[in-house]
Structure 1
Amino acid sequence: MSAPDTPQRVTATQAARDFIARLRADHGDILFHQSGGCCDGSAPMCYPKGDFLIGDNDVLLGEIGGALFYIGAAQFDYWKHTQLIIDVVPGQGGMFSLDNGTGRRFLTRSRLFSDEELAALGA
């Protein structure tokens, strides 16, 4: 997906990767789409692969726990200077997200890329 020295645009905590493994065991292949707001705030939404149609304006950021992770192009433009760090915390997941009803939900944390990381991403 990227060169070894290129920083990842999306990564996940061990807790999130463990939860992803559980969801994949229960639902098969899954994917993520970073929500842009509205009903479920800015939560990363998790869907069975094939249940969410990826559009021409969606950007593939990478993969976490074997699941592809997408974001809308307009939101990517806003967040392109940050690395998304997907975590899992107690709570209710998004209405249509696979984490709903599990007592846990995915949460997006972020950090700004350094100038060096941004240069590597631009190459």
Structure 2
Amino acid sequence: MENLIKRVLVSDRAIKIIDQLRDHHGELMFHQSGGCCDGSSPMCFPKGELMTNENDVKLGTIHGCDFFMSKDQFEYWKHTQLTVDITTGRGSSFSLEIPMGIRFVIKSRLYTDDERDHLEPLQSTSEEV
């Protein structure tokens, strides 16, 4: 089996926060919807709290958490590998990390030509509940 390139990664700093949030809230999920301000930041929810549908794509899994993005937003980001990281400063979203005085952010880089030919496939949200 060939090595496929992941569409979404997670930093070590973000892994530590995910572990803390998981200890307190149970299983988690991420969603990035688009829009302006905090609407374009990845948001963390208890798994299943945010309902996904045919307007979302599952890019992959980061540290045991499904990562979804709206299809419209994905059209802008499909040429980039995303890395979920954290930064200090309180955001204004409903994401679980906000009371900690930090927020999740996306860092991105363009795929190489070779990587684009070996990306992990997108996953359907219809199997998610």
| Residues 1:24 and 2:25 aligned together | no
Q: Percent identity?
A: 47
How far apart in 1 are the matches of 2:29 and 2:120?
A: 25
* Paired residue total: 121
> Aligned partner of 1:68: which letter?
D
SS in 2 for 1:121: coil
Kept in 2, the 8 Å contact 1:43–1:94? The answer is: no
Query: Who is 1:59 aligned against?
Result: 57
**C-alpha distance after superposition, 1:50-99 (max 9, x if no partner):** 21001111100111111100001111122111001110111113421101
Q: Which runs of 5+ in 1 are unaligned?
A: none
Unaligned runs of 5+ in 2: 122-129
Partner of 1:116, secondary structure, is helix
Q: Aligned-pair RMSD on alpha carbons?
A: 1.7
Task: Quote the residue 1:96 is aligned against.
Answer: 94
| Change in CA separation of 1:101 and 1:113 when aligned onto 2, cut-off 3 Å | same
Contact residue 5 and residue 120 of structure 2 kept, 8 A: no
